[in-house]
Amino acid sequence: MSKNIKSIRRGKSTVNFSGNVLAKKASITDVNDINQITNFMVDIIRRQRRLWRKEITDWQAARYAYYQSEIPKNYPMQELYQDIMLDGHLTGITENRTLRTTNKDYIFTIDGVKDDKLTELIKDKEWFEYTLQEAHKSTYLGETFIWHKKFEKGNIIESEVIDRGLYVPGQKMLLFDINGNKALDVSEVNDVLLYANFYSNIGILEKAAVYTILKRHSWGSWDEFEELFGVPIRIAKVASQSETVKNEVAGWLEEMGSAPYGVFPMGTEVDIKETTKTDSFNVFFKKIEALDKELSKLILHQTMTTENGASKAQGNVHENTLGEVVFSDEKKMLSFLNNQVVPSMRLLGYKIPDNAKIAVEKTIEPEKQIKIDTELITGGYILKQDYIEQTYGVEIESMPVAGQTPTEKPTNSKKP
């Protein structure tokens, strides 16, 4: 977290967010104080990310730490999440779902009508885009606290996610230290601290972790299989019993590498042993493929938007399923924005009317709109020229008059 101290007023009390840990500065005030130096270094070391590969036992230990009743800890689970998110397929499907929600145009409306002046408060603002991304990631990583790190009156400059390893699961409290027992109650902080939780306290990655770890095992086993059976074994038979000659020929075989040729002394016979099991790789490939599908079902609730579909009809069903997931995410996002972000902005000095809300600007799909407009015209309704130009992004020089055939010269030209 930033070294800049920010205050959060909760009634009469003041809470300070600063330094490497909450309520403590990430610095040493007395270089001769051995206890202070030791505690500082231990805290730094504990908070460093461990990079070794996580296994099922790590997942079980992380769940045990998270769900224990006395002193639940979130740090082991978040460390596990960082590791499994190295998986390319899991990264792709989570970002796919997130982008379908965050890539929409969010606007301010007053009584349902877009207000351009208010919309400028959030349009193309880095802190707002960051907040959208991190809030939606709570779907995967669990409950999230987003802190307005830098702000002025009526102007949020920068936001930051508080390290999820410091969260006390489900209690809206933050630990002073990931391995400590003292915590800070932030349940009443509503001006510079936003709380997002789109799925569950622990996040959907709790379920995805097992699939990802098993998939990693299959990749490793496939790699070993490739080393053993992917490259044909070359055996050189030499007539000489001299160890010198044998070592020299062995060196030549090693130096061949992937080259299709080699020079050997007369009397040397090279035999190439190829594997006869050409489909053995399917054991690993099919398992990886199945695990990818399970991950897709878990995150996207379907598979065909990431895999090859069997038919257009089935593809439409899967796309509609994903649409329902995205629609649910959009409703959660709007609830978060209007119940968390907008009140926070008001408390920080933004002049936002009480009847103003954040909404998603509706975009028009030309193909669907053409069908609707065709039905209206067929039913005898007359569309305005301005509407057609704005909807389809075209300039119309003139509009036909009722009863006039297309071949007749129009009488109400817009331009001379």
Write out residues in the chain with pLDDT < 70, as ranges: 1-34, 36-52, 227-236, 239-240, 252-253, 256-281, 305-315, 401-416
Q: Which of 218, 185, 258 is nearest to 15 (CA)?
A: 185
Distance CA 303, CA 289 (A): 11
The residues spanned by each domain of the chain are 233-273, 366-416
Residue pLDDT, tens place only, 324-362:
999 999 999 999 999 999 999 999 999 999 999 999 988
Cβ(252)–Cβ(262) under 8 Å?
yes
174, containing H or E segment: strand 173-175
Query: How high is the pLDDT of residue 21?
Result: 38
pLDDT score for 26: 45
Looking at residue 71, what is its pLDDT?
83
Structure confidence at residue 41 (pLDDT): 64
Runs of H (alpha helix) within 226-360: 243-256, 282-300, 312-336, 342-347
Buried b (16+ CB within 10 A) or exposed e, 367-395: eeeeeebeeeeeeeeeeeeeeeeeeeeee
Provide the phi-psi class of 224: left if phi over 0, else alpha when psi is between -120 and 50, else beta.
Answer: alpha
Count Cα neighbours of 110 within 13 Å in the Cβ-side half-sphere: 8
DSSP letter for 401, please.
P
Cα dist from 311 to 292, 294, 324, whole Å: 20, 20, 20
Helix, strand, coil share (%) of the chain residues, nearest 5: 45, 15, 40
